[in-house]
Structure 1
Amino acid sequence: MLQFALWRIAGLWWTLFAASLVIFIVIEVLPGDPAQVMLGMSGDAQSLGALREQLGLNAPVAQRYLTWATGMLHGDFGVSYTYSVPVADLLRERLTVSLPLAAIALALATVLGLPLGVLAARFRGRLSEAGLMAGLQVGVALPNFWLALLLIYVFSISLRWLPAGGFAGWEKGLWAGLSSLLLPAVALALPQAAILARIMRSALLDVMHEDYIRTARAKGLSRQATLWRHGVRNAMIPVLTVLGLQFSFLIAGAVIIESVFYLPGLGRLVFQAISQRDLITVKSTVMLLVTATVLVAFFVDLAYAAIDPRLRKAPR
C-alpha cells in the first residue's frame, strides 16, 4: 500500500508541474501581450509599460515561471489587478462558499444516488425498476439552472422557507450560511444523483454476473446478502471515479448555479476575472482548480486500493 501511495504521489507532482507549465504558456507566453489584453484598446504606451513592469513581464520567461510557481508553493498567488488585493485572499474568501457548497451537494448526491442505483439493480426487470429508471432519466435531462429556478419559486417565493439568493456569511451563524447554500446544493445534487444512480446500477449488474457471485450463491448465501456483501463493494470502483469527477465539477463548474443564486463562489470568481481581463486571477484560480482536481483523483486512487487489494501490489 505504501509503494502504491508513493507512486501516486510522484504522479501527482508531475501532473501539477505539467499543468502549471500549460497554464503559464497559454496565458503569458503564446502570441499576444497579457498587459495589452488587460488594459484593452484604450491603454496608452505609458500605462502599458507600467503594467508590464508591475506584472513582471519584462523579466525572462523562465524567471517569470519560477517566480510564479515558487510563489504558489508559499501561498503567494500574486495581486489581483482588478481588486488590488492578494489573489490568495480572494481565493480564501470564495472557497468558504464553494467548498461547503460542493461538499453538501456531493453528500446529497451520494445519499440519494447510491441507494437508488442499488434498488434499480435489485429490482431489475420489474415495473418498479422501469419507473425508477424513467425518473432517473428525467433527473439527468433536467438543466440544473431550470431546477434552481423551480426551487426558488417553490421554497423561497411560495413557501418562504429559504432565501432566494445571496450568501449571509458564516459569521452570522451556521444556519444562516447553510440556509443560503441549501437550495443551490439541491439544484446541483439532483442531476448528479441521477447520474450516480445509473452508474451504480450498471456497475452492480455487471458485477452480479461474475463467477465469485455465482459461487457465493451456490454456497447458500441469499441474493440480498450477496448483493450487499460482495456486489456493492466491487461495484464501487467505477462509482468512485464518478464521485471524484463530480466533486471537481461541483467546485469549478457551479458558475451557473452561483450566478442564479448570486453566490460569491470560486466559479463566479473565474467568470468575473475573465470578463474583467484579470489574467493574474485567472491563472492562479485555474491552477488552484487543477490542483483540487488532481488531489481528488489521488484520493480516489487510494480509495481504489482500499477497496480492491489487487491494486496495491504494483503501480499502474
Structure 2
Amino acid sequence: MLTYLLQRLASLVLTLAAATIVIFVMIEMVPGDPAAFMMGMNADPEAVGALRDQLGLDQPAAVRYLDWVKGLVAGDFGVSYTYKVPVFELIADRIGISLPLTLYALVLSTLIAIPAGVFAASRRNGAADVSVMGVTQLGIAIPNFWFAMLLVFVFAITLRWFSAGGFPGWDAGFLPAMKALTLPAIALALPQASILARVMRSALIDTMGEDYVRTARAKGLTARQALWRHALRNALIPVLTIIGLQFSFLLAGAIIIENVFFLPGLGRLVFQAITQRDLIVVKSVVILLVFAVTVVTFLVDMAYAAVDPRLRRGG
C-alpha cells in the first residue's frame, strides 16, 4: 500500500510540474500585449513601456516562468493587472461560490444516478430499464445551458419559486445562498447524473455475471441480496472514476452556467480575465483547476485501494 501511495504522489507532482509548463507556454503564445491592451489604442509608447516594466512583462520568459512557479509554491499568485489586488484574494472570493456549487451539483448527480442505475440494472431489459435509459439518453443530449434557460423560464419567470440569477452572498444566510445555487446545480447535475447512471447500470450488470455472484446465488441468496451484498461494492470502482472526473469537470466547466445565472464564481472570473487580457489571473486560476483535478484523481486512486484489496497488496 505504501508503494502504491508513493507512486500516486510522484505522479501527482510530475503532472503539476508538466501542467505549469504547458499553461505558461500556451498563455505566452496568446497574441497581443496586455500592457498595450490596458493602456488603450492611443496610449503613449513610453507609458506602455513603463507599465510593462511595472508588471514584469519585459523580463525573459524563463525568468517570468520561474518567478511564477516560485510564487505558486509560496502561495503567492501574483497581482491582477486589471484589479490591482492579489490574485489569491480574487480566487478566494470566487471559489466560495464555485466550490459549493460544484459539490451541490455532484451530490445531486450522485443521489439521482446511483439509485437510477441500480434500479435499471435490477430490471434489465424490462420496461423500467428501457424507461430509465431513455431518460438518461435525453439528459445527455440536452445542452446544460439550454436546460439552464428552461429552468429559469419555468421556475424563476413563470412560477417565481427562485430568482433568475445573482447570488445574495453567504452573509444573507445559508438557506438563501443555497436557494440561489439550486437551479444552477440542477442544470449542471442533469447531464452528469445521466452519464453516471448509465455507468452504474453497465458496471452492475457486468458484476452480476461474475462467478462469485453466481456462487452466492447458488448458496441461496436472492438476486436482490446478491446485488446489495456482493455485486454493488465491486461495481463502484468505475463509478468512483466517473465521480472524480465529474467533480473536476463541474469545477472547471461551469463557465457557461455561471454566466447564465450571473454567479460571480471562478468561471466568470476566468471569462472576464480573458476578455481583459489579465493573463496572470488566467494562469493562476487554470493551474488551480489543474491542481484540483490532480488531487481528485489522487483521492480516487486511494478510493480504489480502499475498494480493491489487490491494490493494497501491491497487485
Tell me if structure 1 keeps the 8 A contact 2:78–2:280.
Answer: yes
Partners in 1 of 2:284 and 2:43 — Cα distance?
24
Offset at residue 52 of structure 1 (A): 2.2
Question: In structure 1, what is the equivalent of residue 265 of structure 2?
Answer: 265
Offset at residue 44 of structure 1 (A): 4.2
The runs of 5 or more residues in structure 2 that have no matched partner are none
Question: In structure 2, what is the equivalent of residue 15 of structure 1?
Answer: 15
The count of aligned residue pairs is 314
User: Which deviations, in whole Å up to 9, do the C-alpha atoms of 1:216-242 show, x marking residues without a partner?
Assistant: 212222111111122111111111111
- Tell whether 2:45 aligns with 1:45: yes
Question: In structure 1, what is the equivalent of residue 135 of structure 2?
Answer: 135
Tell me if structure 2 keeps the 8 A contact 1:248–1:292.
Answer: yes
Residues 38, 204 of structure 1: alpha-carbon distance in 2 compared, 3 angstrom cutoff: farther
Partners in 1 of 2:43 and 2:24 — Cα distance?
23
Question: In structure 2, what is the equivalent of residue 90 of structure 1?
Answer: 90
Question: In structure 2, what is the equivalent of residue 80 of structure 1?
Answer: 80
Partners in 1 of 2:30 and 2:265 — Cα distance?
31
Partners in 1 of 2:182 and 2:274 — Cα distance?
28
Identity percentage of aligned residues: 58
SS at match of 1:251: helix
Partners in 2 of 1:37 and 1:290 — Cα distance?
29
1:163-242 correspondence to structure 2 within 5 Å: 163-242=163-242
Which 10-residue stretch deviates more, 158-167 or 301-310? 158-167
Tell me if structure 2 keeps the 8 A contact 1:80–1:87.
Answer: yes
TM-score by length of 1: 0.94
Aligned partner of 1:148: which letter?
A
Question: In structure 1, what is the equivalent of residue 6 of structure 2?
Answer: 6
Offset at residue 37 of structure 1 (A): 6.9
Offset at residue 191 of structure 1 (A): 1.5
Aligned partner of 2:280: which letter?
I
Residues 158, 305 of structure 1: alpha-carbon distance in 2 compared, 3 angstrom cutoff: same
User: Which deviations, in whole Å up to 9, do the C-alpha atoms of 1:119-141 show, x marking residues without a partner?
Assistant: 11000021121111111111111
TM-score by length of 2: 0.94
Offset at residue 145 of structure 1 (A): 1.4
Partners in 1 of 2:77 and 2:70 — Cα distance?
10
Residues 19, 255 of structure 1: alpha-carbon distance in 2 compared, 3 angstrom cutoff: same
Offset at residue 25 of structure 1 (A): 1.8
